[in-house]
Structure 1
Amino acid sequence: DMLHTHIEELLQVWEGKHEFSSHSVNYTLSGKRLDIQLNARILPGYEDSWERVLLAVENVTERETARRKLTHSEDYARGLFEYSPISLWVEDFSAVKRLFGDLRQIGIKDFRVFTDVHPEFVERCMQEIRVIDVNQQTLTMFHAPDKQTLLSRLSEVFRDDMRPHFNEQLSELWHGNLFHQREVVNYALNGEQLHVHLQFSVFPGHEQDWDLVLVSLTDITARKKAEAYLEFLGKHDELTKLHNRAFMVDEMNRLERKGPFPVSIIMADLNGLKDVNDQLGHAAGDALLRRIGEVLGKAADRPVHAARIGGDEFAILMPATDERGAVAMMENIQSLIDINNQYYSGSPLSLSMGSATSQHGERLEATVQRADALMYEDKRSYYAKTPGNERRQNSPE
C-alpha cells in the first residue's frame, strides 16, 4: 500500500525539494495497518548527499477511518438518490420564501384571494425555483438524454395544467405546511402528459429559508388511464361508445330534480338487427350497432345525451327542448343515417323512433313510456312496409 505514495515522495525530491510529505500506510510488526501522515526534511548541510533526513510520522488511522466511513456514507446516500425507482428533485425555494416575505410585509393576509387577483405571481414563483439536481429515474420518466438538457427545458415540463396544482402547493407553503403531497400533471420532453403523485418536503435544518427541498414524483399515468377507462365503462356502452342505461337513469333523476324543463325524450330501436345476426353473424350485427353509435354520437351534442339502453334500444335525452326540438332532432338523425348508408356497403341502417316531451308535473319515466309507445308504432309501420316481415309487426325486436 505504501508504494504509490513513496513514488510521489521520490518525485518531490527529484524536483529538488528539500521537504516532502505524503499520506501513506505503515504496518506494525503484528501486521496491523496504520494510516500515517509523513513529513520529511533533508537536514541542513546534507542537501547534496541526503545522508541525514528527518522523518516525522503521525498516526492518523482514526481520522482516516472516520473519513472512509464518511465517504462510504456519502456514496451510499448518493446511490440511493441516483438509483431510486422514483423521480427525485433537489430544489431551492429560497426565492419563493423571500417573495412570501414581501407579501406579508405589505399586509397580504388571504393568499388565495391574492393569487386569484394576481395570477402572474404564481407564474413568477414557478420561474424563481432553482433545480439543484435530479436523479436517473427523472431522466427516464421525462425522456431527457441528460441532466443539462432537462434543466435547460424545464418550461416544457412545468406548464399548462401544472399551474393550478402549483398554486395549491404555494398555498400549503403560505400556511406553513412544509410537507405535503398531491396528484399533479407534468409533461415529458417528448410532449407526453404525465400524471404524477408529488411529495414535497423541506430538508430538516432548512425550514427558515427553504433553500434545500426534496420533491419526489411517482408516475401514476397508467393508473389514471385505468381509472378513466373504468369510469368510462361505468357510464358508457363499450361497443357503441354511447352512454349506457345506468347513466340514463342517473341523468333522468338529475333532470327531474334540477331540469331545465321541458325535457324531451326520443326512444329508438334498430330495425332488422336480428335478421342480420341470423343471416350474417353477430360480427355484422355489431358493426351495425357501432354505426348507429357513430350517428347518435354525432347528433347528440351536449347537453343532449344519447344512450344504448338495451341490445338494439337507444334513448336520447334532451333538456330544455320542446316538441319541435325533438322532431328536429329525429329529422337530423334520419339525415345522418342516410349519409352513413352512402359510405357503408352491406346492410343499411334503419331506426324506428318515437318522441315525447314531459308535461308539467309528469315523471320522466312516464315520458319514456309515451315515447316508447310511439316508437313501436313507427316500428310496426316499418315492418308493414317491408316484405317478408309481417310476423314482426306486432312484436318488438
Structure 2
Amino acid sequence: CWANRILSLWRWWVTTSKKQESSRACPEEGQIKGNILEVNKEMIELLGAPNKKEVKKFNLNNVEKIKHIWNNDFLSSKNKDIFEGNLEYTTNWGKKVFLKYKIEIILSKKNGSEIIIAANDISREKEIEKNLKYFSFHDELTNLYNRRYFENEIKRLDTKRKLPISIIIADLNGLKIINDSYGHKKGDEILIQASQILKESLREEDILARYGGDEFAVLLPNTTKETAEKINKRIKEKCKKINNNPIPISIALGEATKEKPEQDIKEILKKADDKMYKDKLSEEFARTPRGEIKAR
C-alpha cells in the first residue's frame, strides 16, 4: 500500500513564473528545474548510488526517460493531485531498475512548489512476469517453443497464401534406454543436443517446438515436400557427424505436406507422425552388457 509503505522518495524544486491564483494552480510547461532537494536512504539504495551527495549532484531533466514524465497532461492538469506509471530505467550508477512511481505536486505560495515522487522497485515482479510469459510458450529444458505455441501457429498459418505447408515430426531414438542406463541428467543432455541439431538444420523462418517428452515438431510455411525431405536428410547427416561418442544420437523423422486448401492440416500432422513411426521402427537399438547403445 502506497499510503503506509513508501519505499523511496525523491523531492525536487519547481518554480512558477506567475503568481499562483488558486490552490489548484500547477507548474507551467518548461518550468521544472529538476534539481533534487532531498532523497531518502531507500532511494539511494534503489539507484545503486554511493551516497546522498552523489544523487543530489545530477539534474533529473538530463535523464530523458524521467523528463518524459513532464508531459503536457501532467503540467496542465488542474484536477489531478497524483500521476502514476511504470518506468524502466538504467541509473547513473549502471543499475537497471523497473519503477512503479506516483507523483504528487505539493503547492506552496511562498517559493513555488515541490514535486514528490514515491517509487517502488518492481524489477523482480517484472522479471517473474517476463519468465511466466516466456515459459507459457517455451520448453524449459531446450528453450524451444512448446506444444501450445506450435498448435497456435498451425492455426494461424493454415492459410492459402502459406501453401505449401510442410510438417516434420522428429523423435529422439532410445531416450528411455539412455535414461535407464546413464540417468535422466544424461538423457536431458542428449535431448538438448538433439534440439540443437534440429535447430541448426532449419531455416530462420521455420518453427521448431518440443512436442512431447522425446518428440519434436517443425512447421515449415511455403515449403514443398522436396524441400522438407532435404531438411530431413540434413538432420540425419548432422546426427552421423557427432556419433563418435559413447551415446550416438539417432532421430527418427517423418514429413508431410499440405498442398491444397481443402486438405485438413490435422491429417497432414498425423501423416508426418505415421512416417516418423515407420522410420523409428527401421532403427534397431540394442544395449550391450557394458551398457553402451548402438544403432544399426
Name the amino acid aligned to 1:235. F
Query: Secondary structure of 2:9's match?
Result: strand
1:374 aligns with 2:275: yes
1:138 aligns with 2:43: yes
1:89 aligns with 2:10: yes
Contact 2:29 / 2:72 at 8 angstroms: preserved in 1?
no
Alpha carbons of 1:174 and 1:346: their partners in 2 closer, same or farther (altered >3 Å)?
Answer: farther
1:184 aligns with 2:118: no
Q: Normalising by structure 2, report the TM-score.
A: 0.75
Alpha carbons of 1:280 and 1:262: their partners in 2 closer, same or farther (altered >3 Å)?
Answer: same
1:194 aligns with 2:194: no
Greater relative contact order: 1 or 2 (C-alpha under 8 angstroms, separation 6 or more)?
2
Partner deviation per Cα, 1:202-245 (whole Å, 9 max, x = no partner):
22458xx9842111210111111111222222212222222211
Decide which of 351, 358, 375 is 2:258's aligned counterpart: 358
Name the amino acid aligned to 1:90. R
Query: Secondary structure of 2:158's match?
Result: helix
Contact 1:202 / 1:210 at 8 angstroms: preserved in 2?
no
1: CA distance between counterparts of 2:14 and 2:201?
A: 51
What is residue 62 of structure 1 aligned with on the other side? none
Contact 2:169 / 2:272 at 8 angstroms: preserved in 1?
yes
Query: Secondary structure of 1:224's match?
Result: helix
2: CA distance between counterparts of 1:254 and 1:179?
A: 43
2: CA distance between counterparts of 1:360 and 1:339?
A: 37
Alpha carbons of 1:264 and 1:97: their partners in 2 closer, same or farther (altered >3 Å)?
Answer: farther
Contact 2:147 / 2:212 at 8 angstroms: preserved in 1?
yes
Contact 2:29 / 2:76 at 8 angstroms: preserved in 1?
no
What is the aligned-residue RMSD (CA, Å)? 3.5
2: CA distance between counterparts of 1:93 and 1:359?
A: 68
Q: Which sits farther off after the overlay, 327-336 or 185-194?
A: 327-336
Decide which of 249, 252, 256 is 1:349's aligned counterpart: 249
Contact 2:253 / 2:275 at 8 angstroms: preserved in 1?
yes
What is residue 221 of structure 2 aligned with on the other side? 319
2: CA distance between counterparts of 1:226 and 1:233?
A: 10
Identity %: 26
Name the amino acid aligned to 1:323. K
Contact 1:158 / 1:186 at 8 angstroms: preserved in 2?
no
Contact 2:201 / 2:235 at 8 angstroms: preserved in 1?
yes
Contact 1:259 / 1:319 at 8 angstroms: preserved in 2?
no
Q: Normalising by structure 1, report the TM-score.
A: 0.58
Q: Which has the larger radius of gyration?
A: 1
Contact 1:240 / 1:292 at 8 angstroms: preserved in 2?
no
Contact 2:37 / 2:56 at 8 angstroms: preserved in 1?
no
> Where does the alignment leave 5 or more consecutive residues of structure 1 unmatched?
1-83, 102-124, 390-397
Contact 2:254 / 2:275 at 8 angstroms: preserved in 1?
yes
2: CA distance between counterparts of 1:170 and 1:321?
A: 50
2: CA distance between counterparts of 1:223 and 1:301?
A: 35
Name the count of aligned residue pairs.
Answer: 270
Contact 1:241 / 1:293 at 8 angstroms: preserved in 2?
no
> Where does the alignment leave 5 or more consecutive residues of structure 2 unmatched?
17-25, 289-296
Pairwise CA distance, 1:296: 3.4
2: CA distance between counterparts of 1:340 and 1:243?
A: 24
2: CA distance between counterparts of 1:169 and 1:301?
A: 46
Query: Secondary structure of 1:130's match?
Result: strand
